Amino acid sequence: MLSEAVRSDIPQILTALPGPLAQAIIHRDEQVLSTSYTRDYPLVVDFGEGAMIQDVDGNRFLDFNAGIAVCSTGHCHPKVVEAIQKQSARLIHMSGTDFYYPNMVELAEKLASLAPGDVPRRVYFGNSGTEAVESALKLVRRQSGRDKIIAFHGAFHGRTMGSLSLTASKAIQRRGFGNLVPGVFHAVYPDVYRRPAGMSADDYAMQCVSNIEEQLFRAVAPPEEVAAIFVEAIQGEGGYLVPPQVFFDELRELAHRHGILLVLDEVQSGMGRTGKMWACDHFGVVPDVLTSAKGIASGMPLSAMIARKELMNWPPGAHASTFGGNPVAVAAALATIDLIERELLENARQVGDFLLGRMRDWPSRFAHVGDVRGLGLMIGFELVHDQESKKRWPELRNRLVHQAFERGLLILGAGPNSIRLCPPLIVTRDQADFALSTLEECLRQ
């Protein structure tokens, strides 16, 4: 049972952090868990409700990263819990690879109807973001008969060998793993804050696209051999970078001209996070393939690769997964999407506007905030040494993440020196106000 205390919507820190019970768990974890996990601060979670987390020592935190943009409806939303409970009492697993069950079809129909553009779609289910990307990579290579791929510097598409070949975020993610999938070429993503002096954001974004043609197509990846361009609508792990509209206009045109498929990775930016169902809806771009995961089932493992119907006509056995589209995860997704459509898109827009509205002038108020950007509840800001040089300051970013934790606010970094805010879509204005006041207090220090 949840304690009375956790119902309160504001953090309360009772012990030094980590508290004694948390310390004991961390000690055991260190003996037995893979050392590859990246824990930024010592939070040991007992339970969550809405946007709040309680740790094992009874400390209460406001969760402004929602399990890395996953718990879209908040922690343990009653409607999601009910859907999981009901479904798990009927059927937990059957394998959609080999058999049929109704809710898998229902969710596929729903996703096909939600996908951008009025085009018929088919859906493939996996369990994680990387699986969705992996399946998209296989689909575009097989169906186009072409083997080369364009992705972007700073991109994060996952960590299995195929998706890792597209990922170009941090060297540690690739170091020591040897050769990846060949034929992947990376282009520059338009980080408009760091564009060359004197150049407009639009010109820079157009230059990023024309460089694909001039530097990649002409030199290393003949366009008639390129199967697809993989791109994040908003670059997530890369630092929550929002590209200008013209970037997608030009990219779509380039892809179209050469018969190249456009794959939008919306694993982090999709499912209402930006105040629209998909971030690419803000740009009016209709992808050939769309990947979704994180927010889709409020924390149950599920992902979807949604492709144009005529593209996803690969033969039985070409690709499948034992667990993908598990009935319990699917039930959670149906409840999640219902909540997103009914209430949470609007809340994400409103609270997102409130957050961004108050953060817009941070660069003029705080010497070390370099840039603030975002859409809906996907907001990032950079920490820099000074605003003239824009020199990145990762140590200050890391310090801020810790200071916020000590005050009961859970945030995470993104990119080399940015902080990302991606609270659950149910977050209230009061909670947003608390988060901003806490961050402003930390920045003043």
Residues 6+ apart with CB under 8 A from 170: none
What's the start-to-end Cα distance of the chain, in Å? 38
Q: Closest separation between CB of residue 278 and ligand PLP, Å? A: 12
- Looking at the DSSP assignment, which residues form a beta bridge with residue 367? none
The shares of helix, strand and coil residues in the chain, as percent rounded to the nearest 5, are 40, 20, 40
How far is 73 from 299, CA to CA, in rounded Å? 9
How far is 440 from 445, CA to CA, in rounded Å? 9
Q: Closest separation between CB of residue 419 and ligand PLP, Å? A: 16
Q: Closest separation between CB of residue 236 and ligand PLP, Å? A: 4
x-or-dash string of contact with ligand PLP, 387-416, rule CB under 6 A: ------------------------------
Q: Closest separation between CB of residue 154 and ligand PLP, Å? A: 11
Half-sphere exposure of 308 (CA within 13 A, CB side): 15
Q: Nearest residue to ligand PLP, using CB?
A: 129
Residue 65 or 128: the one with the smaller Cβ distance to ligand PLP is 128
Residues 6+ apart with CB under 8 A from 163: 129, 130, 133, 134, 137, 157
Residue 263 or 335: the one with the smaller Cβ distance to ligand PLP is 263
Q: Closest separation between CB of residue 128 and ligand PLP, Å? A: 4
Residue 18 or 238: the one with the smaller Cβ distance to ligand PLP is 238
Residues between 337 and 366 with contacts to ligand PLP, criterion CB under 6 A: none
Residues between 190 and 249 with contacts to ligand PLP, criterion CB under 6 A: 232, 236-237
For 183-193, give one letter per residue: b (16+ CB within 10 A) or e. Answer: bbbbbebbbbb
* Phi, psi dihedral angles at 172 (to 5 degrees): -60, -30
Residue 56 or 229: the one with the smaller Cβ distance to ligand PLP is 229
How far is 383 from 223, CA to CA, in rounded Å? 38
- CA of 35: how far to CAs of 24, 32, 39, 163, 405, in Å? 17, 9, 10, 21, 22
Residue 278 or 362: the one with the smaller Cβ distance to ligand PLP is 278
Q: Closest separation between CB of residue 302 and ligand PLP, Å? A: 10
Q: Closest separation between CB of residue 298 and ligand PLP, Å? A: 14
x-or-dash string of contact with ligand PLP, 124-163, rule CB under 6 A: ----xxx--x----------------------xxx-----
Find the binder of ligand PLP among 149, 261, 267, 333 (CB under 6 A).
267
Closest to 288 (Cα-Cα) out of 407, 120, 43, 151: 120
Residues 6+ apart with CB under 8 A from 16: none
Residue 240 or 362: the one with the smaller Cβ distance to ligand PLP is 240
- CA of 78: how far to CAs of 4, 83, 116, 223, in Å? 17, 9, 29, 50
Q: Closest separation between CB of residue 73 and ligand PLP, Å? A: 18
**Rounded to the nearest 5 degrees, what angle is found at the Cα of 149, between the Cα atoms of 147 and 155?**
150
Residue 56 or 305: the one with the smaller Cβ distance to ligand PLP is 305
Go through the chain and tell me how many residues it has.
445
Residue 163 or 438: the one with the smaller Cβ distance to ligand PLP is 163
Per CB under 6 A, the segment of 54-62, 123-131, 242-250, 372-380 that binds ligand PLP is 123-131
Give helix then strand counts, H and E, for the chain. 15, 15
How far is 295 from 341, CA to CA, in rounded Å? 13
Per CB under 6 A, the segment of 19-27, 260-268, 374-382, 430-438 that binds ligand PLP is 260-268
Residue 266 or 371: the one with the smaller Cβ distance to ligand PLP is 266
Block residue for tokens 């049929």: 100
Residue 158 or 275: the one with the smaller Cβ distance to ligand PLP is 158
Q: Closest separation between CB of residue 133 and ligand PLP, Å? A: 5
Q: Closest separation between CB of residue 425 and ligand PLP, Å? A: 17
Find the binder of ligand PLP among 111, 229, 246, 293 (CB under 6 A).
293
Number of chain positions touching ligand PLP (CB under 6 A): 14
* Chain contacts with ligand PLP (rule: CB under 6 A): 128-130, 133, 156-158, 232, 236-237, 265, 267-268, 293
